Amino acid sequence: MSSDAADIHPDDTLLGRHPLLRAAAWLVTGVLLVALIIAPLTLQQQLTLSVAIFIAALVINRFAGRFGTLAMIFLSVVVSSRYMYWRLTETMVMDNPLDLVLGIGLLVAEVYAFVVLLLGYVQTAWPLERKPVAMPADTEAWPTVDLFIPTYNESLSVVRATVLAAQSIDWPRDKLKIFVLDDGRREEFRVFCEAVGVQHVTRDNNRHAKAGNINAALKNTTGEFIAIFDCDHIPTRSFLQIAMGWFGKD
């Protein structure tokens, strides 16, 4: 599939230009999808459907771009929905009260996982493809950034990699300050931070966990913007230049 086809915006298509036609297409698709989900099948028919979906997934997986993603999501929703329909209509008839309670507990967990799956698909089905805004040519106009790395009981070997990667971010040195927010109050962290030239911040209590750690640090920093990285999150060198342009534009 060409990259042009993969990058077509929904508003540029025939359905995108005709709301009524789009609504009718969604309605028909929804009816067909429900019919497929609730259709009773014999064991042989179910095996045939499963094999067909498996083969379709193998074929679709060869396509790059949005078409392949949406098609795989569709197949996943069909299979998952058929399973959930079967669970709700065929497996909850129980005579033993204990079996019923345990069965309901398992069903609730499965419904929760199914809802999370659907929400994940909604989030990723048609992502916003916003291109970065270039920073001004004059770096003097760039804002100051304080970068927080909160930690509690993680080992120095984990935090060290994040700190060193943060120091490699492509941003003017005089406009970037890195703070290790150490709720573990460890001497080896203080020594490391002093050696590499970043700020080691502690507090005398651990109230409100990570949120409290960050709030305490906010009282002692002066950056125009704050970036927060988990202590095992390795930032890319271009992170700030990609992210900060939009803040300047807005």
Which range has the worst mean pLDDT, 65-69, 75-79, 101-105, 195-199? 65-69
Looking at mean pLDDT, say which of 9-18, 61-70, 74-83 comes out highest: 74-83
Phi, psi of 151 (to 5 degrees): -150, 155
Give domain limits for the chain: 3-125, 139-249
| Residue 5: pLDDT over 80 | no
170: Cβ contacts below 8 Å, ≥ 6 apart: 237, 238, 240, 241
Across the range 33-40, mean pLDDT stands at 89
At 17, is the pLDDT very low, low, confident or very high (cuts 50, 70, 90)?
low
Q: What pLDDT was estimated at residue 220?
A: 85
The share of the chain scoring above pLDDT 70, in percent, equals 92
| Residue 222: pLDDT over 60 | yes
| Residue 122: pLDDT over 70 | yes
At 62, is the pLDDT very low, low, confident or very high (cuts 50, 70, 90)?
confident
Query: How far apart are alpha carbons 3 and 7 in whole angstroms?
Result: 6
Inter-residue contact 143 to 227 (CB < 8 Å)? no
Average pLDDT of the chain, as a whole number: 89
pTM for the whole thing?
0.62
| Residue 119: pLDDT over 50 | yes
Q: What pLDDT was estimated at residue 12?
A: 53
Q: What pLDDT was estimated at residue 81?
A: 94
Taking the CB of residue 182, how many other CB atoms lie within 10 A of it? 25
pLDDT tens digits, 126-170:
777 778 899 999 999 999 999 999 999 999 999 999 999 999 999
Q: What pLDDT was estimated at residue 109?
A: 96
Q: What pLDDT was estimated at residue 3?
A: 45
Q: What pLDDT was estimated at residue 6?
A: 46
The alpha carbon torsion through 102, 108, 114, 118 (nearest 10 deg) reads: 180
Q: What pLDDT was estimated at residue 1?
A: 43
pLDDT tens digits, 202-211:
999 999 999 9
Across the range 215-232, mean pLDDT stands at 94
Fold topology of 139-249? Spore Coat Polysaccharide Biosynthesis Protein SpsA; Chain A (3.90.550)
84: Cβ contacts below 8 Å, ≥ 6 apart: 110, 111, 114
Q: Are strands 145-151 and 225-228 parallel, antiparallel or unpaired?
A: parallel
